[in-house]
Amino acid sequence: MALLEVKNLKKVYSTRFSNQQVQALSNVSFTVEEGEYVAIMGESGSGKTTLLNILASLDKTTSGQVLLNGRDITGIKEKEIAEFRRKNLGFVFQDFNLLDTFSIKDNIFLPLVLSKEVYPIMNQKLKVLAPKLGIEDLLEKYPYEISGGQKQRVAVARALITHPQVVLADEPTGALDSKSTDQLLEVFDKINDEGQTILMVTHSTKAASYAKRVLFIRDGEVFHQIYKGNQTNQQMYQSISETLTLLAAGGK
Partner 1 sequence: MKLFFYPRLALRNIRKNAKIYIPYLLTSTFTVAMFYIIHSLSINGAYDDMTVGARTLPIIMELGTYVVIIFAIIFLFYINSFIIKRRKKEVALYNILGMEKKHIMYMMFYETLITSMFSLIVGILFGVVFSKLLFLILIHMAHISTPFDFVIPMESIIRTFLLFIAIYFISYLFNVLQIQLANPIELLRSSQSGEKEPRTKWVMTLLGLVTLGGGYYIAQTIEKPVEAMLLFFVAVVLVIIGTYCLFTAGSITLLKILKRNKRFYYKTRHFTSVSQMIYRMKQNAVGLASICILCTCILVMLSSTVSLYITVQDSTNMIVNEQLRITLMSSEGKNITEEVNQIYNKSLKQFEMNDIQIKTIVKKECYFASGSYFEKNFTIGGYNDDKYTGITAMSLDEFNQAFHQKQELKDDEILIACNFENIKDHLTINGKTFKVKSVVDEPYFLTQKYSNIEKDMTVVFSSDKTLNKSLFNEEYSAPTMSHSISIDFEDIEDSEKALEIVRSHIPSNMSMYNQSQFEMQNEYFEVFGSLFFLGIFLGIVFLMAAILIMYYKQLSEGYEDQKRYEIMQNVGMSQKEVKQSIRSQVLIFFFLPLIVAAIHMAFAFKMIVKMFSFLVLSDISLFVWCTIISIAILAIIYSIVYSLTAKVYYKIVKVE
Q: Which is nearer to partner 1, 122 or 222 (CB)?
A: 122
Phi, psi of 71, deg, nearest 5: -100, 130
d(CA 56, CA 62) in angstroms, rounded, equals 15
Compose the 1-40 pattern: x for residues touching partner 1 by CB under 8 A, - for all others. Answer: ----------------------------------------
Phi, psi of 217, deg, nearest 5: -115, 135
Least Å distance, CB 148 to partner 1, is 13
Q: Which is nearer to partner 1, 22 or 114 (CB)?
A: 114
Q: Does 144 bind partner 1 (CB under 8 A)?
A: yes
Least Å distance, CB 213 to partner 1, is 26
d(CA 158, CA 160) in angstroms, rounded, equals 6
Stretch that binds partner 1, among 67-75, 141-149, 172-180, 215-223 (CB under 8 A): 141-149
d(CA 250, CA 246) in angstroms, rounded, equals 6
| Amino acid occupying residue 228 | K
Residue 25 pairs in a beta bridge with 11
Alpha-carbon Rg for the chain in angstroms: 18
Q: Which of residues 161-180 bind partner 1 (CB under 8 A)?
A: none
Eight-class DSSP state of 17: S
d(CA 165, CA 162) in angstroms, rounded, equals 9
Phi, psi of 88, deg, nearest 5: -110, -20
- Determine which residue in the list 22, 29, 45, 99 makes contact with partner 1, applying CB under 8 A: 99
Q: Give the number of residues in contact with partner 1, rule: CB under 8 A.
A: 36
Compose the 105-134 pattern: x for residues touching partner 1 by CB under 8 A, - for all others. Answer: -x--xxx-xxxxxxx--x------------
Residue 37 pairs in a beta bridge with 198
Q: Does 143 bind partner 1 (CB under 8 A)?
A: yes
Q: Which residues sit at the interface with partner 1, rule CB under 8 A?
A: 56, 58, 78-79, 81-83, 85-87, 89, 91, 93, 97-103, 106, 109-111, 113-119, 122, 142-144, 158
